[in-house]
Amino acid sequence: MRIGHIENGIVLDHITAGNAMNIYNVLGLGKLDCAVALIKNASSPKMGTKDIIKISTNLDIDLEILGYLDPGITVNIIKDGVVTERKTLTLPERVVDVIKCKNPRCITSVERDIKHEFVLTDPVKKIYRCVYCDQRAK
C-alpha cells in the first residue's frame, strides 16, 4: 500500500503497532477539518511493524502527552514537501493533567483546582507516581 506525501503538516512516525487509534483519539484528530491518514501495521525494518499518522496541517501537538503514550514516536514537521524538523520523543520526567490520580484520599480528589501531577519514578518499567500522595499511575 502506498500513501502519498503531504506538502505541509505533521507526520507521527514509529508509533508502536496498534497504538495509532489511541493516539488519534487522545489528540482529538477526528475533530480536525483537514486530511488525516492513519496507517496501521506498516512494515518497518527497525520495528518490524509500526503505525503512522499523517496530518495535512500544522497544529500544536502536546509532546508531553505523546511521549507518555508512546515514547518511541518521531514527530516530523513537513513544510513545502520537505521535513524541516524532526523530534524524537522520550518518556517525560513529569506529566501534568494527563493522568488522573485514582486515590480517593489524594488532595486532587478533594480540591478541584489542583492539577494532577505525576513524576517518572522508574523509567525502565515506565512507572509514574502522584506528587501529592505517591499513588502509582495505572
pLDDT band at 1 (very low <50, low <70, confident <90, very high): low
Same domain for 24 and 42, yes or no, is: yes
What is the CB neighbour count within 10 angstroms for residue 7? 11
Same domain for 41 and 108, yes or no, is: no
Q: Tell me the pLDDT tens digit for each residue of 31-45.
A: 988 889 999 988 888
> Among all chains, which residue has been given the C-alpha cell 518511541?
72
Residue 136 belongs to some domain of the structure: no
β-pair type (36-44, 48-55): antiparallel
Same domain for 45 and 69, yes or no, is: yes
Q: Model's pTM, two decimal places? A: 0.81
Given a cut of 90, is residue 21 above it in pLDDT?
Answer: yes
- Final residue belonging to a domain, choices 88, 103, 122: 88
Given a cut of 70, is residue 54 above it in pLDDT?
Answer: yes
Alpha-carbon span 53 to 97, nearest angstrom: 24
Identify any residues that bridge with 88 across adjacent strands, giving them in sequence order. 74
Alpha-carbon span 123 to 96, nearest angstrom: 17
Same domain for 80 and 47, yes or no, is: yes
Same domain for 68 and 115, yes or no, is: no
Given a cut of 80, is residue 3 above it in pLDDT?
Answer: no
Same domain for 81 and 99, yes or no, is: no
Asked whether the beta carbons of 128 and 120 are under 8 A apart, the reply is: yes
Same domain for 82 and 117, yes or no, is: no
Residue ranges making up the domain that contains 78? 9-88
